[in-house]
Chain A
Amino acid sequence: MSLEDTTFQFKGQHWRLSAGRAIYWEEENALIVADLHVGKSAHFRKAGIAVPANIVQEDLYRLQQLITKYHPKQILIVGDMFHSSANNEVQYFKIWRQQFPHITFELIEGNHDILESSVYDDLQINLHQVLSLRNFYFVHDAEDKPSVLEGHYLISGHIHPGIRMIGAGRQSLRLPCFYFGMEGAVLPAFSGFTGLYSLHPEPDSAVFVIAEKKIFRI
């Protein structure tokens, strides 16, 4: 079964929200992801913590599937693309990257992105502190938004959002989600090696939960 998506018309744009934890923005031909944390398991393993080594392959394989599905001309990474200092997984990414020479990678720097700028050049990744496209303002951590938004809508990552759902019979579930609030949207973390932070949605927000390969608006 392939990854489902759902089209969300919002602020005059078409956003395809994928259960693969990414958004395809039709008007801009852009695939948007956040918090890839490439190199995280390698960083742990280098420090002697034997987490499974194949997580990055699975993550990048999913990204590859999404690229094949949407054919974006650019990929916007809303921060934390790399987990820490350079390691062999970064090299693995470099080879993976060569499959898509015509796609540009635009990275909005996150708190984990601490590599030398020459490394990004080498990987053909364009680096941005923040990025403004149409009326949208991309920043890794929404807390770092500018004091005046001037009609821009924020799109961020960083917190690895999830929500808790409850039902009859004292049932409850915690699921990763896309969150569209009044001031901005938050993307779920892309990597499988990330936890969840429980959000408390404000009224009038739109929340889409990811249930394995499906996606639901709630």
Chain B
Amino acid sequence: MKNTPGWQAIEQWLAAKELKPFTFQEEAWEHYLQGHSGLVNAPTGFGKTFSLFLGVVIRWMNEEPAYRSKTHNGLQLLWVTPLRALAKDIGRAMEEALHELHIPWKVGIRSGDTTTAVREQQKKQMPEILIITPESIHILLSQKEYASRFAGLHTVVVDEWHELIGSKRGVMVELGLSRLRGLNKGLQTWGISATIGNLEEALDVLMGFGGQQKAIVRADVHKAIDVQCILPDEIEKYPWAGHLGIRLLPKALSVILESNTTLLFTNTRSQSEIWYQQILKACPELAGAIALHHGSIDAELRIWVEEALHTGTLKLVVCTSSLDLGVDFRPVDTVIQVGSPKGVARFLQRAGRSGHRPDAVSKIWFLPTHSLELVEAAALKDAMAANMIESRMPVILAYDVLLQYLMTLGVSDGFNADEIWNEVKGTFCFRDLMPDEWQWILSFLTTGGEALYSYDEFHKLHKVGDHYHCVSRQQAMRHRLHIGTIVSDAMLKVRFMTGGYVGVIEEYFISRLTAGDSFSLGGQNLEFVMIKDMTVLVRKSKSKKSIVPSWNGGRMPLSANLGKMLRRKFHEAMAGTAQEEEILILQPLFDLQQLLSHIPKEDELLMEQIETQDGYHLFVYPFEGRLVHEVMAALLAWRISQRHPITFSIAMNDYGFELLSDQPIPVDDTNAQEYFSLENLNIDLQSSVNSTEMARRKFRDIAVIAGLVFQGFPGKAKANRHLQSSASLLFNVFNDYDSQNILLRQAFNEAFFYQMEEARLRESMDRIYHNKIVITFPQRLTPFCFPIKVDSLREQLTSEKLEDRIKKMTLFTYE
């Protein structure tokens, strides 16, 4: 292999730069040249792109003696990236290498940002390498005669596969690959992934069940990470609940000032807005050297921030997960994480944004937003030491994505049902798809799910023999604009009256403002003037007070790994065996908990019954993480409600959950244990999840992806007023009139099975069932319960008659 002319040329080219290939790169090239598929496991910044790109180049040089002059070769390599912003940098690196190697290949980019002119050009002549997003693959598949564009394609590389695998975008990749493999049986597929707990599975998901030879190539690089905690001086005065952490700003500021360039990560966009403003207030001389970066900020501004990070002209960037991924920012030497990162992998990823040279140490500071979060810091450190990296569970049986995909094929050349059934069954996501589900899906697309009858005028796909295709140009156009699985709230552009674009904001937020109100976006105080043509018009505000928009979806659940470690740390802390300073400092808080209530031992489950003016609270602390608690709380509420009519509002966090009612909750020593019994667990779970809003919330995305709800298009008013409806309304309608709909079942599955594996819940329930249950009746709120009680995001579950509930209620009015 190493004697081939291509390999030699690459070695010489690298040697001229005084470089030589990493071992894992050579290993990947060898596998690739032998025709294998596989997965390269390497972190960013260690030459992962070259481990595959150069393999393709070597093969070309080996097979094509005239490689220096041969142009217009058609598409050879499809490079899939989750992030548009990454495409440009990768393309640049590839072009540079090709230029130096005298290979006249073209590198193209295809994403939502690609201009129409470039798209047309690509239609006429595909570049040899196309860098593309998962959505854009499907856009190409939605065009007439798409097969000819992929005629010469022999290799697909999916970059940052770990980012895609756990989401429906990953399913789009799986389906896209299944079609490309259908066009070319010999297609080689490679993934690039950071370390995750289930690499082997990640490989299987990418490969599907095509039977190709496959390998995992690991880059053995270890990154040194230094984790520090920013500790409050007086724990007694640090808040018991909260998510901002602003009180520790002075301490964060001194870290920032001592560093070269700092990234300060917050978990939500609103948090980042607040931190940005507070830092400027506390340290005005930072103006000009500090920037804000999150998903609602104008793309151009974000690009500017990213470039300024490259050149090192910024001292600090306050950001959200929008900077989790991406190119290297070499000047960054410090990262501050505000609040729990909720997972080991995310914490490591963020830590890795600093000290980006292979030998440098990544430095990250953890800033707790409330006192108990310090336990999480200790848990994180231990989990990192034990290398407990989370798995990314692949999405299975995403009927909504399948519906979208079939429509995509329908609007291009149409499809043959048998052929596509075989391809779809060959994917990991749909390996368990049943023939009757497939028939249901086909009929949903052809007859709208109903048996044909005279009044129906349903039109989507037409069936001729075994061939399905779309004949409506209007529907085809609308579908192409809707391809994708990223569902966002309706967003409106924000613009100054005098012109100038600020960013985007959720319609939901702006609809609650009246003219003259001030709000902040992108670090600026803005006065709301009016909404015109889907644009929010604003002017600069002189008001000192402004509302910070709250963006939905900022709440990440704690991962199972971190949850396990957290439980251990709590038990250590409570047993007094902990050594970490983060935990020792919490001692006064634990003392108070013991005084007011109890500190549970490892084989105990603590329940607190507390009465306040809000009503009767039952707090339960399994320390199993938010996801388990959500399901467990609904289950407990359901079981209690079966004894007699009662209504609960339910809240939870990573430590425990709360059932709140307007009447005393009948749980005591005599019956508590039975509520955790494994008997009838499945039936009770189904009923409890169905009687909360969990499935309804999941349905929202499903309805959009399956094409039932029209999202506004950026800059365009909704296409057809008479076709507007909300996912919530559709959920009601399906529930009332078509309860067998497969999409409803998907919503239930996502609410329950995606949240957690059933096995994990059984295990926890069983553990609790055999634990000693300690019930206390504290006179006031305890340090444990406080963060849960203040949470306003609540589920409801009731077994009371609607009329009985109404009789106890009053009209809601704004004060």
Contacts and interface: CB of A to CB of B under 8 A. Distances in A.
Contact of A52 (B460, B720, B737, B809): B737
Interface string B451-463: 0011111111000
Interface size class for chain B?
A: 35 or more
Interface string A157-174: 000000111111111110
Contact of B802 (A58, A212, A218): A212
Contact of A88 (B456, B725, B728, B808): B456
Contacts of B736: 192
Given A46-B457, A47-B475, A168 B448 contact: no
A166 B810 CA distance: 6
Contacts of A53: 448, 450, 453, 455-456, 458
Interface in A78-114: 83-84, 87-89, 91-92, 112
A46 B459 contact: yes
A46 B737 contact: no
B730 A170 contact: no
A201 B794 CA distance: 25
Contacts of B812: 163-166, 172
Contacts of A40: 722
B806 A165 contact: yes
Contact of A169 (B616, B723, B726, B814): B616
Nearest to B726: A195
A182 interface: no
A52 B458 contact: no
B155 interface: no
Contacts, number: 149
A49 B807 CA distance: 39
Contacts of A91: 455
Contacts of B802: 173, 211-212, 214
A194 interface: yes
B778 interface: no
Contacts of A87: 457
A87 B723 CA distance: 14
A193 B455 CA distance: 18
A155 B803 CA distance: 27
B588 to A, nearest CB: 30
A209 interface: yes
A200 B512 CA distance: 13
Interface string A112-146: 10000000000000000000000000000000000
A200 B815 CA distance: 11
Given A83-B722, A88-B456, A112-B722, A49 B810 contact: no
A195 B707 CA distance: 19
Contact of A171 (B449, B458, B796): B796
A55 interface: yes
Given A55-B737, A58-B737, A207-B811, A169 B722 contact: no
Interface of A: 40, 42-55, 58, 83-84, 87-89, 91-92, 112, 163-173, 175, 192-195, 200-201, 207, 209, 211-212, 214, 216, 218
Given A48-B458, A171-B662, A173-B802, 17 more contacts: A44-B723, A46-B458, A47-B720, A48-B472, A49-B707, A51-B730, A51-B733, A53-B448, A53-B456, A88-B454, A165-B809, A169-B662, A170-B615, A170-B660, A209-B806, A211-B803, A212-B802
10 contacts: A45-B448, A50-B708, A51-B725, A88-B456, A164-B812, A169-B614, A169-B647, A194-B729, A195-B725, A218-B810
